[in-house]
Chain A
Amino acid sequence: MADPLFPVLPVPHGPVRWGAMTCAQSPLAEIVSLGAFSGVGRDELVKRIHEAFGVILPDQPRAVASADGGCSFLWSGPSQWLAVAEEGAGLLSRLREVCGDVCALTSQSDSRSIMKLSGPGVREAMSRLVPIDLHPTVFGKDHVASTLAGHIPVIMWQTDDAPTYLFFVFRSFAASLFHDVSVALSGFSSSEMDICV
């Protein structure tokens, strides 16, 4: 007999703690991808965003915040960015007014969920999961990387030096990523945990 389907949260509702390290699902956010049209699209897009949001779109894997702090722009590929704001910020309609004619705007709010990891030791734990160098001299605050966590495609963003990482993951992979993160975090022995804390 077929199993009935019930809605189940892919990750625990509240934050999960290992020592001083915390893993929590971030509140829903508005996410919009910007892909500049070819030709003058890129230059025009950078100019318009600068005028409207007071910030220069980065041309390397970094994140920048708008002048009013209301939203952030993450580099996500050559001439491509992700704009992120709180839910209900009306980001898509604002971007459509500002730059809808020079770039492709696509709402990604329903495509990705955001997992937040923070606390001392998270860097070491995440080094077990992502194949990039997370040393503070290489990957610091507001650095962004599109990469694989385990085998799961993620966009990771270090938002402060605590360190805190945000993982943007496709919604259907959230449960798998949470499992992999749990294994990476719980792999610390208590003595290692003491060192991290």
Chain B
Amino acid sequence: MRLTCPSCGSRGLEEFTYRGDASVRRPAADGSEQAWVDYVYLRDNPCGRHQELWYHGAGCRSWLVVTRDTRTHEVFDVRNARDVILTERQTDAGEGEAS
């Protein structure tokens, strides 16, 4: 399997480290106990498209969000985790203003 790092280009898997599900989000500090249990312990084991965190440790040392099919290893999208979270925060802020 190869991943196309947004900075470095196409690289082999040996340069990357898998970290886990990229779709989980930390609940609010005063969130329910169940929300925290879900966040800390519970993970889905999806069959198909999955968002994952990967670390390009042997390259540019960026954190990446990879969208991958767990059955075929087809990679649909690789983006900088920083860009993903900034976009998300902007969207959240935009929705906050609208409501």
Which residues does A use to contact B, with CB under 8 Å? 60-61, 76-78, 131-133, 145-148, 151, 153
Contact = CB atoms under 8 A, between A and B. Distances in A.
B12 A78 contact: no
Interface of B: 7-12, 14-15, 58-62, 80, 82
B7 A60 contact: yes
Contacts of A146: 8, 58-61
A153 B61 CA distance: 12
Contacts of A131: 11-12, 14-15
A147 B7 contact: no
Contacts of B14: 131, 148, 151
B11 A78 contact: no
A77 B11 contact: no
26 contacts: A61-B7, A61-B8, A61-B9, A61-B60, A76-B60, A77-B60, A77-B62, A78-B60, A78-B62, A78-B80, A78-B82, A131-B11, A131-B15, A132-B9, A132-B11, A145-B59, A146-B60, A146-B61, A147-B8, A147-B11, A147-B15, A147-B58, A147-B59, A148-B14, A148-B58, A151-B14
A78 B15 contact: no
A153 B58 CA distance: 6
Given A131-B12, A147-B15, A148-B15, A78 B58 contact: no
Contacts of B12: 131
Contacts of B11: 131-132, 147
Nearest to A60: B7
A148 B15 CA distance: 7
Contacts of B82: 78
Contacts of B10: 133
A145 B10 CA distance: 11
A57 to B, nearest CB: 14
B8 to A, nearest CB: 6
